[in-house]
Structure 1
Amino acid sequence: MNDPVNFDIPKSRTILRPRRLALLGTVAALGVAVLVSAPGSSPFHAASLIAPAQAAETAATPSGFADLVSKVKPAVISVRVKIDQDNDKNAMLQQDRMQSDEDSPFDQFSRQFGFRLPNGMPNGMNGMPRQRHQMVTGEGSGFFISADGYAVTNNHVVDHAESVQVTTDDGTIYTAKVVGTDPKTDLALIKVEGKKDFPFVKFSDQKPRIGDWVVAVGNPFGLGGTVTAGIVSASGRDIGNGPYDDFIQIDAPINKGNSGGPAFDMNGNVIGVNTAIFSPSGGSVGIGFDIPAATAKLVVAQLKDKGAVTRGWLGVQVQPVTSDIADSLGLKEARGAIVDNPQDGSPAAKAGIEAGDVITAVNGTAVKDSRDLARTIGTMAPGSSVKLDVWHKGESKTVPLALGEVPNERQAKATTDGKVQPDAGTPRLGLSLAPAGEVKGAGQKGVVVTEVDPQGPAAQRGIQTGDVILNVGGKAVANVGDVRSELMQAKSSGKRSVLLQVKSADATRFVAVPLA
């Protein structure tokens, strides 16, 4: 059988030749330095004036990564899996997506690095109909974290795998079993039995700085044992993968097959797990994303102990606090997470958290936005006692509570689009309203939007016919008079916007509407 070919390679195949790289930060090692000194002075004295600067620059720039690579490379493995696509609809859907020539750049985040088809040809590219019961072969990377064979990789590398094989740096092939997976962070723990002396690496205890050197080792395109280098480009990246996104961005080239491989600092510690790339072309363009070591350590520890991950649960639907929302609530800064709706029976509801409250801190640590809140709570164990700083009806208070456990894998939902959407009501907003009780199917609470002027401010905020306004400025409304009264109150108080709680279908949210 011919070697398999990546089936998401474009039909018009291009071989990329290496580009010549410029060496940065070297100290004129290839040139000739000429010292000019004043009459009677010593040239050695002139040289001593620049030597410290040269020495500092040389020390700051590694002469090479060979020593580091020889230390860590034996702990990195290639991971090969087989998936019966006839029994796995997800694999089939992934295959169809990768065959598309119309994928957007965001589809190229490579959630399934390196999947291949048998017979050496991409399915759908050789003119033959898809056969049933084909085995999809996937390739990724991983690394040992203990001498007894525990190794880390990505969930999407081993997800739904019927068999898992790993190849070590010396070419030895072992069978591995999946200990546990966590789709929410895209991490998986696998175990190779039979030996107690595998080379392994450790997670870093320090968060990398932007600009630090980073070395990635992995199995791109099935080549195995490939080393690339670059720097940490950014941190705290949210790529829309899930509520716990907190990726490290690196520019060390990673490609399909690097998934699950480690990124090292200069001490040989793992700072992140290579997980995704942004690539309009499908290959590396210098934008890769790593799961931080701090996250990986917490997840892997739970996978090893329990085979699964449990997370703390507040039971709130939240959204970011925009400047308009902050102004309408009297907050000095647009920070924190505003509660759209506490879920019935949740820890938040039991503790008295209400819709319209803004959670500004957890255990004294400021909350930046709704996603930051989700990440913070998600790192805590169910049953943990926490103290929330809450902005409640113009006053700050502290709310103690015990976190629950995420029921049925449901997670605290964080709205992250950053844009305030549907809204209603201020004078001359271009809305017609009616009590909810007078409109069939609208319920008994609030006022229903019966008509929207498409050129009005409310329409620009996304208000639609059928939306229900539940409260205005923190007070429940039952008729048009209530709405008008609260709007006038907000305006007379000098506020530039008023906060509305709006219900659409089964979801509620808060929107700040400018007061014209």
Structure 2
Amino acid sequence: MPRLKSCLPILAAFLLLGQMATAQADLPDFTPLVEQASPAVVNISTTQKLPAKAAVVNQPDLEGLPPALREFFERSMPQQPRGGDRQREAQSLGSGFIISPDGYILTNNHVIADADEIIVRLSDRSELKAKLVGTDPRTDVAVLKVEGKDLPVVKLGKSEDLKVGAWVLAIGSPFGFDHSVTAGIVSAKGRSLPNENYVPFIQTDVAINPGNSGGPLFNLAGEVVGINSQIFTRSGGFMGLSFAIPIDVAMDVANQLKASGKVSRGWLGVVIQEVNKDLAESFGLDKPAGALVAQVLDDGPAAKGGIQVGDVILSMNGHPIDMSADLPHLVGGLKAGSKASLEVIRDGKRKTLDLTVGALPDDDKDGTPGPVGGSEHSSNRLGVSVVELTDEQKKTFDLKGGVVIKDVQDGPAALIGLQPGDVITHLNNQPITSAKVFADVAQALPKNRSVSMRVLRQGRATFITFKLAE
């Protein structure tokens, strides 16, 4: 028995070594991928000429880094001449990759925005001036062209085939360090970011830093599946949250830019919002899902197709809308004139609406309520005083009815953040056509159950929910 005990540590050590060897054997070998793909990855730098005497050259943003790291990177980058009318030396801004042997290159719009000169440095250190073919700020995609032939190119994959948990690899120029390689896994797909309505981002934990922008994201087959575009950071550096534009989206944009110099997107003409638990309860849904229509723009495709305020869109052309952000991704991928079939919930019942998708306008226009007018009515139950909309306000906001909040007292209205000037158009799923209708509906509101209210503020409509206590 003593001999058996003495053997246990040795046996455990062998088992541990075996497990480590197995784990190492399961890790992918990235070297063939890097050797094959690196020649098609480029470094992009730009120069911007300003009317002032001292010209400014865009360079990686080092603000927010610890002082020691910032000092190290500043020493590592070439120094720029100061003063006078001399043009500063261009510094590395970002990355890109060659998609055709004759010199078409993909990168991010923000990498080359406002640039007067764009320089592309190839893997053999040669530099070429690039021409801007086209750019699309909405997806942050830009297409460049350099003069060349038989240039190395990347293999393009399909981002829709990516799976969460799959290995991915990035090659780029973080802080100007050319052809740096980092790897990680796909953390999520279809991510929506603030003010980014038309890109279902790929989220990864690949180390991405300033200078990686515009560079390719590869799968293990050596195919580009995304363009590294954004990071979430509080320090200025990598924090484990990186976002890439799916290559399917990027190539659709690139092909349109090459063909016509602009991008056409589908448009419904609605303002939507997320369906949370309380809204789902107020609209009679089994669970929070879909896109709640808070506003229908006059004469837009949605209005012509019969979509109404308060509809909850559950699917489009058979694709489920789990989150409200799924809808702009699907609509934006359609061309103007395309047919769309929408499944909606209206008054607790499912119905299908068929409509023709329009073209997304260049600018969105919002209105702001003007001076209030009409007769005043106070609702002690909600704690607000309201007045009816004037004819001019109804025309401005394309409303047939509604009331404007004149004053907010203590009560439910104050607790949910209502403000003077807000326009209430629906309460408890009922249209508000006058101050009297508002008072009647408010008086009959149920207790201890989620109630929805549609509010128009500065031209933007949204549904909010609240509960009245016993």
TM-score (norm: length of structure 2): 0.81
Counterpart pick for 1:498 among 437, 451, 454? 451
Deviates more, 1:195-204 or 1:252-261: 195-204
- In the alignment, structure 2 segments of 5+ residues that lack a partner are 1-8, 66-73, 367-376
Counterpart pick for 1:176 among 130, 136, 161? 130
Deviation at residue 131 of structure 1 after TM alignment: 7.4
* Equivalent residue, structure 2, for 1:448: 404
- In the alignment, structure 1 segments of 5+ residues that lack a partner are 1-32, 37-45, 105-113, 414-423
Deviates more, 1:353-362 or 1:440-449: 440-449
Q: CA RMSD in A?
A: 3.7
Alignment partner of 1:60 is 2:15: no
Cα deviation, 1:330-374, whole Å, max 9, x if unaligned, reads 122221112122111111111121222221110122112332111
Cα deviation, 1:203-231, whole Å, max 9, x if unaligned, reads 33553333322221111222212112222
Preserved contact between residue 426 and residue 453 of structure 2 (Cα < 8 Å): yes
The one-letter amino acid paired with 1:399 is: L
Cα deviation, 1:8-37, whole Å, max 9, x if unaligned, reads xxxxxxxxxxxxxxxxxxxxxxxxx9569x
* Equivalent residue, structure 2, for 1:396: 350
Alignment partner of 1:250 is 2:210: no
Counterpart pick for 2:144 among 152, 168, 190? 190
Count the aligned residue pairs.
434
Alignment partner of 1:476 is 2:436: no
2:285 match: secondary structure:
coil
Say if 1:196 and 1:132 are closer, same or farther in 2 by CA, change over 3 A.
closer
CA distance in 2, matches of 1:427, 1:502: 19
Deviation at residue 281 of structure 1 after TM alignment: 2.5
Alignment partner of 1:431 is 2:384: yes
* Equivalent residue, structure 2, for 1:85: 50
Deviation at residue 195 of structure 1 after TM alignment: 0.9
Say if 1:86 and 1:117 are closer, same or farther in 2 by CA, change over 3 A.
farther
CA distance in 2, matches of 1:440, 1:367: 37
Q: How does 1:58-457 map to 2 (within 5 A)?
A: 58-62=24-28, 64-86=29-51, 120=80, 139-204=93-158, 206-410=160-364, 428-436=381-389, 445-453=401-409, 455-457=410-412
CA distance in 1, matches of 2:421, 2:216: 51
* Equivalent residue, structure 2, for 1:3: none
CA distance in 2, matches of 1:481, 1:375: 41
* Equivalent residue, structure 2, for 1:13: none
1:246 match: secondary structure:
strand
CA distance in 2, matches of 1:219, 1:503: 46
1:345 match: secondary structure:
coil
Deviation at residue 298 of structure 1 after TM alignment: 2.1
The one-letter amino acid paired with 2:384 is: L
Preserved contact between residue 221 and residue 257 of structure 1 (Cα < 8 Å): yes
CA distance in 2, matches of 1:97, 1:257: 6
* Equivalent residue, structure 2, for 1:461: 416
CA distance in 1, matches of 2:271, 2:85: 45
Deviation at residue 153 of structure 1 after TM alignment: 0.6
Cα deviation, 1:139-165, whole Å, max 9, x if unaligned, reads 211111122222111111122222222
Cα deviation, 1:287-309, whole Å, max 9, x if unaligned, reads 32211223223222222322221
Deviates more, 1:151-160 or 1:225-234: 225-234
Deviation at residue 500 of structure 1 after TM alignment: 2.1
1:216 match: secondary structure:
strand
CA distance in 1, matches of 2:408, 2:194: 32
Preserved contact between residue 176 and residue 190 of structure 1 (Cα < 8 Å): yes
CA distance in 2, matches of 1:332, 1:488: 27
Deviation at residue 425 of structure 1 after TM alignment: 9.7
1:80 match: secondary structure:
strand
CA distance in 2, matches of 1:351, 1:498: 28
Preserved contact between residue 85 and residue 134 of structure 1 (Cα < 8 Å): no
Say if 1:477 and 1:65 are closer, same or farther in 2 by CA, change over 3 A.
closer
CA distance in 2, matches of 1:134, 1:353: 55
Cα deviation, 1:371-407, whole Å, max 9, x if unaligned, reads 2111110111111101011222332211101111112
The one-letter amino acid paired with 1:220 is: P
1:511 match: secondary structure:
strand
The one-letter amino acid paired with 1:120 is: Q
Cα deviation, 1:441-495, whole Å, max 9, x if unaligned, reads 7888323322212x4221121111232222323333344442243245552xx88
